[in-house]
Amino acid sequence: MTTFFAMNGYGFYIWSAYGAAALVLAIELLTLRSRRRSVLLEARLTRPDDPTDPTGAAE
Amino acid sequence: MSLNWFRYASPATFYPLAGKMIPWFYGAAALLAVIGLYVGLVVAPTDFQQGDAYRIIFIHVPAAWLSMFLYVVMACWSALALGFNTRLSAMMAQAIAPTGAVMTFIALWTGAFWGRPTWGTYWAWDARMTSELILLFLYLGIIALRNAIDDPRRADRACGVLALTGVVNIPIIYFSVHWWNTLHQGSSVSLTKAPSMAAIMLTGMLIMSFAAWFYAIAASLARIRIIMVERERGAAWVGELEEVRNA
Protein backbone atom coordinates (compact mmCIF):
# COMPACT_ATOMS: atom_id res chain seq x y z
CA MET A 1 0.00 0.00 0.00
CA THR A 2 2.79 2.41 0.92
CA THR A 3 4.59 1.57 -2.30
CA PHE A 4 1.37 2.25 -4.20
CA PHE A 5 1.10 5.77 -2.74
CA ALA A 6 4.81 6.39 -3.19
CA MET A 7 4.46 5.80 -6.96
CA ASN A 8 8.22 5.22 -7.20
CA GLY A 9 8.97 8.72 -6.01
CA TYR A 10 6.33 10.47 -8.13
CA GLY A 11 3.62 10.30 -5.45
CA PHE A 12 3.70 14.03 -4.69
CA TYR A 13 3.06 14.99 -8.32
CA ILE A 14 0.47 12.30 -9.01
CA TRP A 15 -1.57 12.86 -5.84
CA SER A 16 -1.35 16.66 -6.19
CA ALA A 17 -2.84 16.31 -9.66
CA TYR A 18 -5.51 13.74 -8.74
CA GLY A 19 -6.33 15.41 -5.42
CA ALA A 20 -6.85 18.86 -6.96
CA ALA A 21 -9.02 17.38 -9.72
CA ALA A 22 -11.19 15.59 -7.14
CA LEU A 23 -11.39 18.74 -5.01
CA VAL A 24 -12.49 20.94 -7.92
CA LEU A 25 -15.17 18.44 -8.99
CA ALA A 26 -16.41 18.20 -5.39
CA ILE A 27 -16.65 21.99 -5.19
CA GLU A 28 -18.62 22.06 -8.45
CA LEU A 29 -21.07 19.44 -7.16
CA LEU A 30 -21.53 21.15 -3.79
CA THR A 31 -22.05 24.51 -5.52
CA LEU A 32 -24.70 22.95 -7.76
CA ARG A 33 -26.47 21.49 -4.74
CA SER A 34 -26.52 24.69 -2.72
CA ARG A 35 -27.56 26.80 -5.72
CA ARG A 36 -30.36 24.38 -6.49
CA ARG A 37 -31.66 24.70 -2.94
CA SER A 38 -31.60 28.49 -2.90
CA VAL A 39 -33.13 28.78 -6.39
CA LEU A 40 -35.96 26.40 -5.52
CA LEU A 41 -36.67 28.32 -2.34
CA GLU A 42 -36.64 31.60 -4.24
CA ALA A 43 -39.03 30.11 -6.80
CA ARG A 44 -41.43 29.06 -4.06
CA LEU A 45 -41.42 32.58 -2.67
CA THR A 46 -42.25 34.03 -6.09
CA ARG A 47 -44.97 31.51 -6.91
CA PRO A 48 -47.97 33.19 -8.50
CA ASP A 49 -51.02 33.31 -6.21
CA ASP A 50 -49.23 31.57 -3.38
CA PRO A 51 -51.37 32.12 -0.30
CA THR A 52 -48.49 31.23 2.00
CA ASP A 53 -46.14 33.76 0.42
CA PRO A 54 -44.42 35.27 3.47
CA THR A 55 -42.54 38.03 1.63
CA GLY A 56 -45.21 39.38 -0.67
CA ALA A 57 -42.68 39.03 -3.46
CA ALA A 58 -45.15 37.47 -5.88
CA GLU A 59 -46.13 39.75 -8.72
CA MET B 1 -46.51 8.43 -35.77
CA SER B 2 -44.35 11.48 -35.56
CA LEU B 3 -42.23 12.38 -32.61
CA ASN B 4 -42.20 16.10 -31.99
CA TRP B 5 -38.64 16.98 -31.05
CA PHE B 6 -39.47 20.64 -30.65
CA ARG B 7 -41.58 19.67 -27.68
CA TYR B 8 -38.33 19.35 -25.72
CA ALA B 9 -37.18 22.80 -26.81
CA SER B 10 -39.45 24.28 -24.14
CA PRO B 11 -38.08 24.53 -20.59
CA ALA B 12 -41.33 23.18 -19.13
CA THR B 13 -40.89 19.84 -20.97
CA PHE B 14 -37.10 19.68 -20.93
CA TYR B 15 -36.87 20.21 -17.16
CA PRO B 16 -38.39 16.84 -16.14
CA LEU B 17 -36.62 15.01 -18.99
CA ALA B 18 -33.24 16.35 -17.81
CA GLY B 19 -34.15 15.35 -14.26
CA LYS B 20 -34.65 11.75 -15.36
CA MET B 21 -31.36 11.63 -17.27
CA ILE B 22 -29.08 13.17 -14.63
CA PRO B 23 -28.81 10.14 -12.26
CA TRP B 24 -27.95 7.85 -15.19
CA PHE B 25 -25.15 10.11 -16.39
CA TYR B 26 -23.76 10.58 -12.87
CA GLY B 27 -23.97 6.82 -12.34
CA ALA B 28 -22.22 6.00 -15.60
CA ALA B 29 -19.54 8.60 -14.84
CA ALA B 30 -18.89 7.17 -11.37
CA LEU B 31 -18.76 3.57 -12.61
CA LEU B 32 -16.42 4.39 -15.49
CA ALA B 33 -14.23 6.54 -13.23
CA VAL B 34 -13.76 3.64 -10.80
CA ILE B 35 -12.85 1.25 -13.65
CA GLY B 36 -10.67 3.86 -15.35
CA LEU B 37 -8.79 4.74 -12.15
CA TYR B 38 -8.22 1.05 -11.44
CA VAL B 39 -6.85 0.47 -14.94
CA GLY B 40 -4.80 3.67 -14.83
CA LEU B 41 -3.34 3.49 -11.34
CA VAL B 42 -3.13 -0.28 -10.74
CA VAL B 43 -3.29 -2.32 -13.95
CA ALA B 44 -1.27 -0.15 -16.33
CA PRO B 45 2.48 -0.73 -15.93
CA THR B 46 5.10 1.87 -15.08
CA ASP B 47 6.30 3.72 -18.17
CA PHE B 48 9.88 2.86 -19.11
CA GLN B 49 10.78 6.50 -19.81
CA GLN B 50 8.65 8.61 -17.49
CA GLY B 51 8.28 6.19 -14.59
CA ASP B 52 4.94 6.56 -12.79
CA ALA B 53 4.66 10.30 -13.49
CA TYR B 54 2.87 9.51 -16.77
CA ARG B 55 -0.17 8.29 -14.78
CA ILE B 56 -1.33 11.91 -14.68
CA ILE B 57 -2.31 11.32 -18.32
CA PHE B 58 -5.50 9.55 -17.18
CA ILE B 59 -6.98 12.83 -15.94
CA HIS B 60 -4.95 15.34 -17.91
CA VAL B 61 -5.91 14.25 -21.42
CA PRO B 62 -9.65 13.67 -20.75
CA ALA B 63 -9.92 17.07 -19.06
CA ALA B 64 -8.00 18.78 -21.87
CA TRP B 65 -10.15 17.14 -24.56
CA LEU B 66 -13.32 18.10 -22.76
CA SER B 67 -12.17 21.67 -22.16
CA MET B 68 -12.03 22.14 -25.94
CA PHE B 69 -15.09 20.04 -26.86
CA LEU B 70 -17.26 21.78 -24.27
CA TYR B 71 -16.22 25.16 -25.62
CA VAL B 72 -17.24 24.15 -29.15
CA VAL B 73 -20.56 22.76 -27.90
CA MET B 74 -21.16 25.95 -25.90
CA ALA B 75 -20.36 28.07 -28.96
CA CYS B 76 -22.76 26.02 -31.12
CA TRP B 77 -25.59 26.58 -28.65
CA SER B 78 -24.65 30.27 -28.54
CA ALA B 79 -24.82 30.46 -32.35
CA LEU B 80 -28.26 28.82 -32.32
CA ALA B 81 -29.41 31.20 -29.61
CA LEU B 82 -28.15 34.24 -31.52
CA GLY B 83 -29.52 33.04 -34.84
CA PHE B 84 -32.95 31.81 -33.81
CA ASN B 85 -33.41 33.63 -30.50
CA THR B 86 -34.21 30.35 -28.76
CA ARG B 87 -34.32 30.41 -24.97
CA LEU B 88 -33.24 26.84 -24.36
CA SER B 89 -30.11 27.15 -26.54
CA ALA B 90 -28.94 30.16 -24.58
CA MET B 91 -29.55 28.32 -21.31
CA MET B 92 -27.55 25.36 -22.63
CA ALA B 93 -24.61 27.64 -23.39
CA GLN B 94 -24.92 29.22 -19.94
CA ALA B 95 -25.04 25.80 -18.26
CA ILE B 96 -21.92 24.48 -19.99
CA ALA B 97 -19.54 27.37 -19.24
CA PRO B 98 -18.72 26.59 -15.56
CA THR B 99 -18.10 22.88 -16.26
CA GLY B 100 -15.88 23.92 -19.17
CA ALA B 101 -13.94 26.19 -16.85
CA VAL B 102 -13.55 23.34 -14.34
CA MET B 103 -12.20 21.00 -17.03
CA THR B 104 -9.79 23.67 -18.30
CA PHE B 105 -8.51 24.29 -14.78
CA ILE B 106 -7.97 20.54 -14.24
CA ALA B 107 -6.12 20.26 -17.56
CA LEU B 108 -3.80 23.15 -16.63
CA TRP B 109 -3.24 22.06 -13.03
CA THR B 110 -2.53 18.41 -13.82
CA GLY B 111 -0.32 19.53 -16.71
CA ALA B 112 1.77 21.59 -14.29
CA PHE B 113 2.23 18.62 -11.95
CA TRP B 114 3.18 16.45 -14.89
CA GLY B 115 5.53 19.03 -16.37
CA ARG B 116 7.54 19.46 -13.17
CA PRO B 117 8.90 15.88 -12.94
CA THR B 118 9.23 15.35 -16.72
CA TRP B 119 10.25 18.78 -18.10
CA GLY B 120 11.65 20.29 -14.90
CA THR B 121 9.12 23.12 -14.70
CA TYR B 122 5.54 23.63 -13.56
CA TRP B 123 4.89 26.27 -16.18
CA ALA B 124 6.36 27.65 -19.37
CA TRP B 125 4.93 30.12 -21.89
CA ASP B 126 4.67 27.27 -24.34
CA ALA B 127 2.13 27.64 -27.17
CA ARG B 128 -0.16 24.81 -26.03
CA MET B 129 -0.10 25.88 -22.39
CA THR B 130 -0.59 29.57 -23.13
CA SER B 131 -3.54 29.00 -25.47
CA GLU B 132 -5.14 26.65 -22.92
CA LEU B 133 -4.72 29.39 -20.27
CA ILE B 134 -6.48 31.80 -22.64
CA LEU B 135 -9.29 29.24 -22.88
CA LEU B 136 -9.67 29.40 -19.08
CA PHE B 137 -9.83 33.22 -19.28
CA LEU B 138 -12.46 32.96 -22.02
CA TYR B 139 -14.65 30.70 -19.87
CA LEU B 140 -14.20 32.97 -16.84
CA GLY B 141 -14.83 36.04 -18.98
CA ILE B 142 -18.09 34.60 -20.32
CA ILE B 143 -19.24 33.74 -16.79
CA ALA B 144 -18.25 37.18 -15.48
CA LEU B 145 -19.93 38.96 -18.39
CA ARG B 146 -23.18 37.15 -17.67
CA ASN B 147 -23.02 38.13 -14.00
CA ALA B 148 -22.42 41.75 -14.98
CA ILE B 149 -25.63 42.06 -17.05
CA ASP B 150 -28.96 42.06 -15.21
CA ASP B 151 -31.27 41.35 -18.17
CA PRO B 152 -30.85 37.64 -19.02
CA ARG B 153 -31.75 38.04 -22.71
CA ARG B 154 -29.17 40.81 -23.16
CA ALA B 155 -26.66 38.67 -21.27
CA ASP B 156 -27.44 35.77 -23.65
CA ARG B 157 -26.56 37.91 -26.66
CA ALA B 158 -23.41 39.42 -25.17
CA CYS B 159 -22.12 36.06 -23.93
CA GLY B 160 -23.03 34.48 -27.27
CA VAL B 161 -20.95 37.00 -29.19
CA LEU B 162 -18.01 36.58 -26.81
CA ALA B 163 -18.26 32.76 -26.99
CA LEU B 164 -18.30 32.80 -30.80
CA THR B 165 -15.35 35.19 -30.95
CA GLY B 166 -13.40 32.90 -28.64
CA VAL B 167 -13.85 29.90 -30.95
CA VAL B 168 -10.81 31.16 -32.84
CA ASN B 169 -8.72 29.96 -29.88
CA ILE B 170 -9.79 26.30 -30.26
CA PRO B 171 -7.87 25.49 -33.49
CA ILE B 172 -4.94 27.42 -32.02
CA ILE B 173 -4.90 25.10 -29.00
CA TYR B 174 -5.41 22.00 -31.13
CA PHE B 175 -2.74 22.75 -33.73
CA SER B 176 -0.33 24.59 -31.41
CA VAL B 177 1.87 21.51 -31.06
CA HIS B 178 2.24 21.39 -34.86
CA TRP B 179 2.54 25.11 -35.56
CA TRP B 180 5.10 25.89 -32.89
CA ASN B 181 7.86 23.61 -31.80
CA THR B 182 7.89 24.48 -28.10
CA LEU B 183 7.75 22.39 -24.95
CA HIS B 184 4.46 20.48 -25.12
CA GLN B 185 4.61 17.18 -26.99
CA GLY B 186 2.49 16.32 -30.01
CA SER B 187 -0.62 14.17 -29.70
CA SER B 188 -0.27 10.45 -29.00
CA VAL B 189 -3.80 9.75 -30.18
CA SER B 190 -5.14 11.02 -33.50
CA LEU B 191 -7.76 10.10 -36.05
CA THR B 192 -5.28 9.65 -38.86
CA LYS B 193 -2.71 7.26 -37.42
CA ALA B 194 -2.43 4.45 -34.92
CA PRO B 195 -2.01 5.68 -31.34
CA SER B 196 1.60 5.80 -30.19
CA MET B 197 0.98 4.43 -26.72
CA ALA B 198 0.50 1.03 -25.12
CA ALA B 199 -2.97 -0.50 -25.48
CA ILE B 200 -3.65 -0.76 -21.75
CA MET B 201 -2.69 2.90 -21.21
CA LEU B 202 -4.90 3.94 -24.12
CA THR B 203 -7.77 1.87 -22.70
CA GLY B 204 -7.51 3.56 -19.30
CA MET B 205 -7.39 6.98 -20.93
CA LEU B 206 -10.44 6.32 -23.09
CA ILE B 207 -12.45 4.96 -20.13
CA MET B 208 -11.57 8.07 -18.14
CA SER B 209 -12.55 10.22 -21.12
CA PHE B 210 -16.01 8.66 -21.22
CA ALA B 211 -16.29 9.13 -17.45
CA ALA B 212 -15.41 12.81 -17.87
CA TRP B 213 -17.92 13.16 -20.70
CA PHE B 214 -20.75 11.67 -18.69
CA TYR B 215 -19.83 13.79 -15.69
CA ALA B 216 -19.86 16.94 -17.82
CA ILE B 217 -23.27 16.04 -19.29
CA ALA B 218 -24.73 15.34 -15.84
CA ALA B 219 -23.33 18.53 -14.31
CA SER B 220 -24.49 20.65 -17.25
CA LEU B 221 -27.98 19.16 -17.10
CA ALA B 222 -28.12 19.75 -13.34
CA ARG B 223 -27.06 23.34 -13.94
CA ILE B 224 -29.54 23.97 -16.74
CA ARG B 225 -32.35 22.87 -14.43
CA ILE B 226 -31.22 25.43 -11.88
CA ILE B 227 -31.01 28.09 -14.60
CA MET B 228 -34.51 27.23 -15.83
CA VAL B 229 -36.07 27.60 -12.40
CA GLU B 230 -34.12 30.78 -11.78
CA ARG B 231 -35.00 32.43 -15.08
CA GLU B 232 -38.59 31.21 -15.30
CA ARG B 233 -39.62 31.65 -11.69
CA GLY B 234 -43.06 33.15 -11.57
CA ALA B 235 -44.08 31.02 -14.58
CA ALA B 236 -46.92 28.59 -13.90
CA TRP B 237 -44.91 25.43 -14.69
CA VAL B 238 -42.23 26.35 -12.14
CA GLY B 239 -44.84 27.05 -9.46
CA GLU B 240 -46.36 23.62 -10.06
CA LEU B 241 -43.08 21.71 -9.58
CA GLU B 242 -43.12 19.47 -6.57
CA GLU B 243 -39.60 20.50 -5.51
CA VAL B 244 -40.65 24.17 -5.64
CA ARG B 245 -43.78 23.58 -3.55
CA ASN B 246 -41.75 21.71 -0.95
CA ALA B 247 -38.73 24.00 -0.96
Q: Which of A9, A21, A58 sits opposite B110 (nearest CB)?
A: A21
Q: Is A22 on the interface with B (CB under 8 A)?
A: no
Which residues of A are less than 8 Å from B215 in CB distance? 25
* pLDDT band, residue A53 (cuts 50/70/90): low
Q: Is the pLDDT of residue A16 over 90?
A: yes
Q: How far is CA B138 from the centre of its chain?
A: 13
Count the neighbouring beta carbons within 10 Å of the beta carbon of residue B74. Answer: 28
pLDDT at B149: 96
- The residue type found at B43 is V
* Residue to test with chain B: of A2, A3, A13, A32, most B Cβ within 10 A: A13
Which residues of B are less than 8 Å from A50 in CB distance? 239
List the single residue in B with minimal CA-CA distance to A9. B52
Question: Is there a contact between A42 and B109 if contact means CB atoms under 8 Å apart?
Answer: no
Distance, CA of B233 to CA of B227 (rounded, Å): 10
pLDDT at A42: 92
pLDDT at A2: 81
Q: Is A10 on the interface with B (CB under 8 A)?
A: yes
Q: Is A56 on the interface with B (CB under 8 A)?
A: no
pTM, 2 dp = 0.90
Question: Do the Cβ atoms of B241 and B229 come closer than 8 Å?
Answer: yes
Per-residue pLDDT tens digits of chain B, which is 247 residues long: 455 656 667 889 999 999 999 999 999 999 999 999 999 999 999 888 888 999 999 999 999 999 999 999 999 999 999 999 888 999 999 999 999 999 999 999 999 999 999 999 999 999 999 999 999 999 999 999 999 999 999 999 999 999 999 999 999 999 998 888 778 887 777 666 667 778 899 999 999 999 999 999 999 999 999 999 999 988 899 999 999 998 8
* pLDDT band, residue A50 (cuts 50/70/90): low
Q: Is the pLDDT of residue A58 over 60?
A: no
Q: Which of A18, A20, A44 sits opposite B245 (nearest CB)?
A: A44
Which residues of A are less than 8 Å from B222 in CB distance? 32, 36
Interface size, chain A vs chain B, as Cβ–Cβ contacts under 8 Å: 102
Which residues of B are less than 8 Å from A58 in CB distance? 234
At B38, which helix (H) or strand (E)? helix B11-38
Q: Is A14 on the interface with B (CB under 8 A)?
A: yes
Distance, CA of B155 to CA of B158 (rounded, Å): 5
User: Which residues are registered as beta bridge partners of B51?
Assistant: B47
Q: Is the pLDDT of residue A57 over 60?
A: no
Q: Is A26 on the interface with B (CB under 8 A)?
A: no
The model's pLDDT over A2-12, given as tens digits with 9 standing for 90+, comes to: 888 888 889 99
Which residues of A are less than 8 Å from B109 in CB distance? 17, 20-21, 24
pLDDT at B2: 56
pLDDT at B1: 46
Distance, CA of B15 to CA of B73 (rounded, Å): 20
* Burial (0-12, 13-18, 19+ Cβ within 10 Å), A33: exposed
- Classify A46 as helix, strand or coil: coil
Q: Which of A4, A9, A28 sits opposite B219 (nearest CB)?
A: A28
Q: How many helices (H) and strands (E) does chain B have?
A: 9, 0
Which residues of B are less than 8 Å from A21 in CB distance? 59, 63, 106, 109-110
Q: Is the pLDDT of residue A40 over 60?
A: yes
Distance, CA of B220 to CA of B213 (rounded, Å): 11
pLDDT at B172: 95
Which residues of B are less than 8 Å from A5 in CB distance? none
